[in-house]
Structure formats: C-alpha cells, structure tokens
Amino acid sequence: MLSLKTIREHPEFVAQGASDKGEKIDIKGILTLDGKVRKIIKDVEDLKAMRNRSSEEISQLKQVGKDAREQISEMQDVSKRIKELDGELAENREELHEKLMWVPNIPHESVPVGKDESANEHVRSWGEKPKFDFEPLPHLELATKLDLLDMERGAAISGSGFPLYTGQGAILERALINFMLDHHLQRGYREVRTPFITLRQAVETTGQLPKLEDDMYIVEQDDLFLIPTAEVPVTNIHKEEIMSGKDLPKQYVAYSPCFRREAGSYGRDTRGLLRVHQFNKVELVKFVKPEDSYDELESLTSDAESILQALGLHYRVALLSTGDLSFAAAKCYDLEVWAPGEKRWLEVSSCSNFEDFQARRANIRYRKEDGKTSFVHTLNGSGVATPRLMVALLETYQQDDGTVWIPEPLQPYMHTSLLK
C-alpha cells in the first residue's frame, strides 16, 4: 500500500506510475476522501476540547452552587455531535481504505516503460541451447512414453489443469523440491513450512487482493483462500511486528503447493505442464532494510538462478517492463528457461522487490539504531516452480532412445541417473 503522504504530495507521479502499469486509479476521489477524513478528525478534536472546557465549567459552577443546566445541555449536544462525526469518520475511512487498496505499487525508476511483455529487457543469459542429432520431443510425449505423468486421470479426479505425477515422475518432482530446499539452506535461508490456506487479510497483505480474487480458489463458508504461492503465508509471518534492525535481513525458504484458477487464461498453454491450476514451488522471501533492498533483489535473483545453473539448464533473465509488472511489485526479474521440445522460453521464476508496499499493508516494521521505527522492504522469488522446470529438464536431457538423463545434483535424490 502506498502511503497517503506520497499520494498527497505527488498525485501526478502516482497517477502516472499506475498508468504505466495499465491501472486506472481514482486519485481525485482519494484526495477528496482524505480531506474529509482529516477535516472530521479536526472537528472531533475541537469538539472534544470544547467538551473538556464545558466539563470544567460545569464543575466550577456546581462547586459554588450555581445552575449548570444550560452548560450540561450544551455538553450533551456536543457529545451527540461527536458520536455522529465518529460514525462519519469510520465510514469515510473505510471508503478511503477500499480506494487505496486499488492503488498499485509505483515502478522503480530503472524499470523500462512499456505496455506489456514486448517491452521487457533481456539483461543476461547463461549457457547455450542444447544441440541434438535428432528431433527433440515435447515434454508431454516424453512423459507419456516414460509413464511419468497422467493428465487424463488427473482431470478425472479434479478437472483439467490438475496433473497426476506417476512412478518416476512423482519421484522426480519430489527430488527437485528436496534438492532446491537443501540448496537454498546452504545459501543461508531458513526453512519454514506454512499453512496452505490463509485468511483474506493475508492475501490482501501481499497484494493479490482485491484485484485477483477471481483467480483464487476460495473456501467461501469460512472466507479462506488456498494460497497462490508461499509468498502469502511467509510474508505474513511477521505481520504487526517490530523487528530489530540487527536481525535484518531475514530470509526464508518454503515449499508449498500453489493453487491458481487463472480465470482469464482458459485455452492458453493447456498441454501438459505448461499451465496448470495446482503446482509445487519452492519460494524465497526476504525482509530487509530499505537501503539494502535493491542489492538484495540482485542477490535473490542470483539465488534463484543458481538452481538453473546447478541443473545445467540454458536460461535468460528479463527485466519486466511497467506493463508486465505485478500489482504489488516495484521491480521484477523473470527467469526464462529454454525448452527445446517446445522450442520456446518458459518462465520458471519471478524475483520481485515490493519496497514497503506489502510491509505497510501488514504493518511490518523494524527498529533502527536511533530507536525510531520504519517499514521493512519485502522481496520474494520462486526458487523455483517445478512444472516448467520439469518440462525443461525432460526436453533438455532426452536421449535419442527416448530415455532421459538425470542431472548429477538430482541423482542422490532419485537413486538413478536415467529415466527409462
């Protein structure tokens, strides 16, 4: 959430930043409501001061035996008006809060301006596209032949977009999850295992709500949400807390299943594991000092990249344009891995700096050396998601006889070097 101070002092800057993200916001309505709220607060404070003075006057009149009925009547009228204004204040604050929830984070100055992913900048790549002396197969054909995946039975259980991993396919995904968790633990992250269902307020904190509610799976009778990413529960670990600056940065790694309706994506990339409604992911989350957050973003991105490097997968890093940024992010890098069977790049990770946007929503602060408190900056990134990672692995390491070689870091988890 942006601070009201920023919106008051820089309304055109905020409106332009939102517009660059493709968002329309009611700046005029926000400022009008803000003015109403501040006026009501002042009026209430003035009336309370008047009531205090009247109370003292009534006490003095009673002490000397004089009639104080007129003053008592006036004080009762003032108290009634204060109660009315308190009601108006609550209503206006609620309306203001609702409008503020639709104001996106403002893109960082280093983010390229553009309306969509076509304006993204590719900042670096690693490795080379694998070469084959045969036509590489797409992952679904490989997975079907090797009995790694059964999309039809998964659909019979839960509907389309819910994969059923079988045999060595299930073992491979578990191996990837365990390998990634162990890898990030060695890089200084602390593992947590969170609930996979959260309160509405938790999803508001991270910025998926209110905008993306139609893309969420909801337990309506309890107003609970299946998490779209472990970012949601992990970021909320420190909600309403004041941390010591000496304890920052804090960095967590968490595995979770992720649930996404993706209501606007029906018909897109529906084959195999390219776009699914339930998938597994290892998530990285950081809480850092504001002055360190952009260095920490580079470090976080490097941590996610190290997974792909360890597995020997060709990938590139894209700096997202304003129009491709998420609602809550100020800056984001996407990691895109090459899938030779699909013959295209697949996003496997987004690494984002939210600055204090999420921390303001969750009231997560830290105490500085001078004793004052300030909002932390939060960052997160996939470290990484398994479905498209499996696509790239199967397609990159396929052999001409239809088998798939297992990268060395995964072999201790798989207890084999070959899928056959």
Please state which CATH number belongs to domain 117-419: 3.30.930.10
Q: What is the mean pLDDT of residues 161-183?
A: 97
The Cα–Cα gap between 208 and 225 comes to 11
The Cα–Cα gap between 255 and 28 comes to 42
Residue 263 — pLDDT band, cuts 50, 70, 90?
A: low
Residue 370 scores a pLDDT above 60? yes
Question: Looking at residue 144, what is its pLDDT?
Answer: 95
Contacts of 408 (CB under 8 A, 6+ apart): 417
Looking at every residue in the chain, the average pLDDT score rounds to: 95
> What is the SS3 assignment for 252?
strand
The Cα–Cα gap between 361 and 240 comes to 9
Q: Which two tokens stand for residue 139?
A: 């992952």
The Cα–Cα gap between 7 and 5 comes to 5
Residue 288 — pLDDT band, cuts 50, 70, 90?
A: very high
Residue 341 gets which letter from DSSP? T
Residue type present at position 271: R
Please state which CATH number belongs to domain 4-100: 1.10.287.40
Active site members: 260, 275, 347, 350, 388
- Among 289, 287, 408, which residue's Cα sits nearest to residue 358? 287
**Torsion sign (Cα): 117, 268, 389, 196:** positive
Question: Looking at residue 71, what is its pLDDT?
Answer: 83
The Cα–Cα gap between 213 and 201 comes to 12
Burial of 343 (0-12, 13-18, 19+ CB in 10 A): exposed
Tens-place pLDDT, residues 225-252: 999 999 999 999 999 999 999 999 999 9
The Cα–Cα gap between 121 and 333 comes to 9
Residue 254 scores a pLDDT above 70? yes
The residues spanned by each domain of the chain are 4-100, 117-419
Residue 269 scores a pLDDT above 70? no
Contacts of 185 (CB under 8 A, 6+ apart): 191, 253
Is the whole-model pTM more than 0.85? yes
Length of the chain counted residue by residue:
420
> What is the SS3 assignment for 316?
strand
Furthest-apart CA atoms within the chain: distance in Å = 109
Query: What values do phi and psi take at 194, rounded to 5?
Result: -105, 170
**Percentage with pLDDT > 70 across the chain:** 98
Residue 255 — pLDDT band, cuts 50, 70, 90?
A: very high
Tens-place pLDDT, residues 318-357: 999 999 999 999 999 999 999 999 999 999 999 999 999 9
